[in-house]
Amino acid sequence: MKPMEGIKVIELSTMLAGPMTARILAEWGAEVIKVESMNGDAWREQYGTSLSSCTGEANPNFDMQNINKRFIALNLRSEEGLGAIMKLIAEADIFLTNYRIHTLEKMGLTYEQLKDRFPKLIHASVLGYGSEGAEKYRPGYDYTAFCARTGLLGDLAPAGGPPIMTVAGLGDHSVAVALTAGIAAALYKRTVTDLGDKVDVSLLQAGTFILSTGLLNGFNGRRFPRDRYNCSHAGSNTYQGSDGEWLYLAIVDYRRFSEFCKAIGHPDIAEDPRFSTQQAYYTEDSKRELTKILDSIFSGHPVSYWHELLDAHDLPHEIVCHFKDVPYDPQVQANHYTYFHEYSDGTKTVFTNGPVHFASVDASSIPCRTSGPIGCDTAGILKELGYAEAQIESMYQSGKVR
């Protein structure tokens, strides 16, 4: 039995954070029904974001967030559409949404509007800037509320350069992991109290949490953005090999510094008074000077040479890899963190598996039910809700469903 088997999720969300939360729950065994507007989730049309193909059969960019769901399209501006989603919620354990609060209020779908009618329901929300404060109704996106507002774009950029360019989903997928955990906790609470709960995670909240150490640095006066010579210490820094590639050296424990110096063939460095004590090692001048010394050493050989040498001495480090290579990484493949999929029309893509492994879920054979067109499961879902064939046909004809 999968951990979420028997749990039913109604998802009313678009773009990335809400859909990825539901996708994780589906991977863990939950039944997920995604409710879309008559025009569909806007992310269906954003395939250019990842340079993905989009054909009549294949939409990998959309599917990355929407694997293993069923899809119903309802006109939620109509009485019939709202009636249908209420029937779905009545049978659900979790109602998951990233619609803004005032939009939900108009449809009667906020936690406060549903909690008495459905006391066991877990109401899970993705927010932009939180549920309180002057900006609670403000639209929030991954790039704005998570990346820009929290300092990630501005302070993690190299000194003197523009804000860094990130990739879509960094904040959204962080929210998805956190919200999934919150939902699991609320489900456990329900087993004890027999009552549902409200669970929400905002992009601003997730960003401030994930960047906790950065906030602590800023609070204590560290100036950002920084360059490589204004590092925490030279043993925790990036270095470029003769082939132009980079590695991250992570000799974070000063007690191993002498061992590291011997391994790279320069034991004299550890005896240099500028670096020979922990107190001296951490001064601003010493960090800068040691980084320059190590720059010269590492530039003498390609990154692969240093990787093999440091591995042989069990010294922590990692090659700075590229997105294009990660899906093929043998360690990634051995743990089934990614897998390759071919659609019926021959379109090929890579998908990631979820962020958690369970003994009860075979990570090598997690189902991959990709999406179909907007409303591809509408008729079947309505039949399950008790609608007669004639009712369903009438709803199609009158534009209440798609």
Which residues belong to the active site? 172
Q: How far apart are CA 158 and CA 302, in angstroms?
A: 23
* Among 220, 68, 233, 46, residue whose Cα is nearest residue 141: 46
Check if the beta carbon of residue 13 is closer than 8 Å to that of residue 126.
yes
* Cα 13 off chain centre by: 15
Check if the beta carbon of residue 228 is closer than 8 Å to that of residue 239.
no
User: Could you say which DSSP state residue 164 is in?
Assistant: P
Check if the beta carbon of residue 98 is closer than 8 Å to that of residue 172.
no
* DSSP state string for 84-151: HHHHHHHT-SEEEE---HHHHHHHT-SHHHHTTTSTT-EEEEEESS-SSSTTTTS---IIIIIIITTS
Check if the beta carbon of residue 264 is closer than 8 Å to that of residue 257.
no
Pairing outcome for strands 236-240 and 246-250: antiparallel
* Cα 230 off chain centre by: 30
Task: Spell out the alpha helix ranges (H) of 14-100.
Answer: 17-27, 60-66, 79-90
Check if the beta carbon of residue 274 is closer than 8 Å to that of residue 289.
yes
Check if the beta carbon of residue 318 is closer than 8 Å to that of residue 246.
no
Structure tokens at 189: 């609470």
